[in-house]
A = this chain, B = another copy of it.
Amino acid sequence: MARAATTTDVFNAIAEAQRRAILDVLAGGERPVGAIVDELAITQPQVSKHLRVLSEVGLVQCRAAGRRHLYRVNPTRLRPVVDWLSRYEHLWNERLDRLDDYLGELQRDGSHEDHRPQGAP
């Protein structure tokens, strides 16, 4: 056997730095492919292929809008990674810092606001 397929699981999908970069762009809101191509220095076919991988593991979702395909990140699929990491977080001592972050966030927005539809300037 060679290395596991990138579409095997989320761990393999996010192993590639460019795929993480794409997700980072999409974390700013729904974007067409071209916007990713412009923002990162990757060719359009590469972006499309990476989006395909991300899509197959469910990390992004697509919506057709005219001749454009709008991609958005689906962060819930990162859960296996978060869960796995949670076994190790307690091994180093930053619970308090992280707790403080969460408390701060909680206090700041106070409500359950969820899908901010991209405040495009």
Give every chain B residue within 8 A of A4 (Cβ-Cβ): 15-17
Give every chain B residue within 8 A of A11 (Cβ-Cβ): 14-15, 17, 20
A99 to B102, Cβ gap below 8 A? yes
A93 within 8 A of B: yes
Closest to A3 in B: B3
Q: Which A residues, 1 to 54, have Cβ-Cβ distances below 8 Å to chain B?
A: 3-4, 6, 9, 11-12, 14-17, 20, 23-24, 27
Q: Which residues of A contact B (CB under 8 A)?
A: 3-4, 6, 9, 11-12, 14-17, 20, 23-24, 27, 73, 75-76, 78, 81-82, 84-85, 87-93, 95-96, 98-99, 102-103, 105-106, 111-112, 114-115
